[in-house]
Amino acid sequence: MAYHEAKERLRGSIAPVVTPFDEEGNVDFAALAALIDWHIESGTHGISVTGTSGEPSSLTLEERKQVMETAKKAVAGRVPFVPGTGSTNHAETIELTKFAQEIGADAAMVIVPYYNRPSQQALYKHFKAVAEAVDIPIIVYNIPGRTAVNLEVKTLARLAEDCPNIIGVKESNKDFEHVNRVLWHCGRDFLLFSGIELLCYPMLAIGGAGSISATANVVPHKVAELHDAWFEGDIKRAQDLHFELMELNDVLFIETNPGPVKAALGMMGKITPKLRLPLDLPSEEHQQQIRRTLVKYGLLAEETQDEEMQKAT
């Protein structure tokens, strides 16, 4: 995909799909393909895998490639495909990003390396080397709450200036001043995606391209509809959906993502609710809160008090 074409197509709700596991903890590739079909049928505008919601640090390098390849085949060109290829390891990041290009991904999402806490100059050198290793578009993924380092706007602007295939950023950054300055310094045509659920609508208002939101795993139709309403000029509907989704957003982050999301999808019958340690499902108390919220949103049938007590025992 040419860079200018990517900037036109990579918009709206790009769902960061979870990686389903079976009861034994193996990747459930059939469930992954089924999730992707459901997303596209629900109106999702793009598919991403092996981002934060996909538990990439719990997968082997080969598993990450298998998940990417399975997802690419399931998408089958119906919407853009943007796998996460970043890692704490520089060489592994390049290998995965090259693999994304080989299988025909439309772009790659590359996270700021976690745990290492690199300097801004080191981050510049890392992303520049990754960008120069491939021809596909790159979306940088800035999530300081997970990586312990913030990719500063000036560093991102240098990368956007020096690397023509770095076309956007996913900002999981609660600093709204920061994300405003991204578009100011990188250009208004730079793709800005929200990774913070409560900022998905506000980022659209300043010229954002869309969101890569964990909540889309549970209500892909609603998150897609919010973006459709905005792009169609129905501002009131987009605002209404923003506030309608707030309670669900909150409960899906009641513990570390993707634990609550996987619990919710398990309750909805979409996947086996399984994570790999060191991650785990939320506490039973939190799972009951998730269940009540899903019922409230019409995603689960309301249970009797006896059924709820039986599940709790």
Q: b vs e for 63-101, b when ≥16 Cβ sit within 10 Å of the residue's Cβ?
A: bbbebbbbbbebbeeebbbbbbbbbeebeebbbbbebbb
Question: Is 170 among the catalytic positions?
Answer: yes
Identify the band that residue 4 occupies on the pLDDT scale cut at 50, 70 and 90.
confident
In the sheet with 166-171, reading across from the earlier edge strand, the strands are 46-48, 12-16, 210-211, 191-194, 166-171, 138-142, 108-111
Q: Give mean pLDDT, residues 121-134.
A: 98
Placement of tokens 């520049």 in the chain: 128
The chain-wide mean pLDDT, for the chain, equals: 95
Does residue 111 sit in helix, strand or coil? strand
Question: At residue 313, does pLDDT exceed 60?
Answer: no
> Residue 282 is which amino acid?
P
Instruction: Provide the pLDDT for residue 5.
Output: 81
Catalytic residue among 141, 262, 270, 274: 141
Which residue ranges make up the annotated binding site for pyruvate? 53, 212
57-107 pLDDT, tens digit each = 999 999 999 999 999 999 999 999 999 999 999 999 999 999 999 999 999
Pick from 170, 204, 161, 175: which is nearest to 83 by CA?
A: 170
Domain boundaries 2-245, corresponding CATH code = 3.20.20.70
pTM here? 0.93
User: 311 catalytic, yes or no?
Assistant: no
- Residue 126: Cβ within 10 Å count: 20
Alpha carbons 83 and 106: distance in angstroms, whole number: 9
Instruction: Summarize pLDDT for 132-173 with one digit per residue, the tens.
Output: 999 999 999 999 999 999 999 999 999 999 999 999 999 999
Q: Given 72, 170, 262, 270, which residue is catalytic?
A: 170
pLDDT tens, position by position, 209-235? 999 999 999 999 999 999 999 999 999
Of 185, 202, 158, 74, nearest to 193 (Cα)?
Answer: 202
